[in-house]
Chains A and B, each alone.
Chain A
Amino acid sequence: MAGKTIVITSGKGGVGKTTSSANIGTALAMHGNKVCLIDADIGLRNLDVVMGLENRIVYDIVDVVENNCRLEQAMIRDKRYDGLYLLPAAQTRDKTSVTPFQMKELIEKLKEDMDYIVVDSPAGIEQGFKNAIAGADRAIIVTTPEISAVRDADRIIGLLEAEGLRDPEVIINRIRADMVERGDMMGIEDMIEILAIELIGIVPEDEGIVVSTNRGEPIALNDNAKAGQAYRNIARRIMGEDLPMMKLEKDSFISRFKKLVGLS
């Protein structure tokens, strides 16, 4: 097998890289792919809790590169899908514990029996970012509809291109249709025009993401959640399907009413 490696990155922190990595990985596995998620945020491990796998960790990525264990020993099998694995970050080490070269080697090995490797990048443009993109074939940039996040995304596009990662794609996360409609949030077209890159998905602001993170169950598992649908669509686009973008809907009167009286 010759798997594809996708790095999820952003520049700005807190825009949804880890959430996106967990959900894209889960949705890819849902479609029958063998997937390994790599948490490249060394020192600030998070992907394990978002996936609900935190209490299964024995070894981590630094143990692998330092030969304290074999790669397979550090890979944690997901609770829900047989073909889904997580290679956790080390929590008590720093970003320099792994080099881009080691990362590349590790990914080459994983590619032999994975369909997809999804790398969750740390925020910033320093060593952690360089490690995360080292073995990547494809990059997905996450941004939110805010000036600072889009600006950092633009910076990242330039850096990725300088590293030979051409044609990155973008996920616009935390879009609120009601705010776009009343003119208080930049719209999708505006941001795509400015960044001049391909859109691979839009993810609405969704409280369900907080709930699912609380439970350690990625929202892609939830058939009824909008954000879950959004991530399942992104996974299918990654697999090469040509799907139309999701329609952004304002909360209907009925659903607002339901929320008001506590029915949803």
Chain B
Amino acid sequence: MKSDDKKSKSVAKERLQFVLVQDRVKLTPDEMDAMRDELIEVLSKYIDVDSQKIEMDVRREDDMTALVANFPLKGSK
């Protein structure tokens, strides 16, 4: 079975991180997607981002909550 390849703990961690991004920024999944698309659009004017590999996370740090986004460049390593 394909879905069993990955340990359920990793699946849980990923799903949890995903819902927390939404909870913490108080955006719906649709709004998140829209924000992501717009960010890609703006960034693409200047750099070649690999839209397949974008990661967004909302992290709680000592005295603030931050949206941390990772936009890898195409063809870079």
User: Which residues of A pack against B, CB within 8 Å?
Assistant: 146-147, 150-151, 154-155, 157-158, 180, 182-187, 190, 194-197
Which B residues touch A194, using CB under 8 A?
Answer: 13, 16-17, 20
Of the candidates B13, B19, B24, the one whose C-beta lies within 8 Å of that of A186 is: B13
B27-57 CB mask vs A (1 if < 8 Å, else 0) is 0000000000000000000000000000000
Cβ contact within 8 Å between A180 and B9: yes
For A183, the chain B residues whose CB sits under 8 A away are: 7-10
Quick check: A184 and B8 within 8 Å, CB to CB?
Answer: yes
CB distance from B65 to the nearest CB of A (A): 8
CA distance A180 to B13 in the complex (A): 13
Q: Are A186 and B60 in contact (CB under 8 A)?
A: no
Could you tell me which B residues sit within 8 Å of A by CB distance?
7-10, 12-13, 15-17, 19-20, 23-24, 59-61
Interface SS majority for chain B:
helix
B16 touches A150 (CB 8 A): yes
B23 & A151 in contact (Cβ 8 Å cutoff): yes
Q: Please tell me if the beta carbons of A154 and B23 are within 8 angstroms of each other in the complex.
A: yes
Beta-carbon contact of A147 and B16 below 8 Å: yes
Q: Which residue of A lies closest to B22 (CB)?
A: A151
> Chain B residues with Cβ under 8 A from A180's Cβ?
9
Shortest C-beta distance, B57 to chain A (Å), equals 10
Contact present for A185 and B9 (CB under 8 Å):
yes
20 contacts between A and B (CB under 8 A): A146-B12, A147-B15, A147-B19, A150-B16, A154-B20, A154-B24, A157-B60, A158-B24, A180-B9, A183-B7, A183-B9, A184-B7, A184-B9, A185-B9, A186-B12, A190-B9, A194-B20, A195-B60, A196-B61, A197-B60
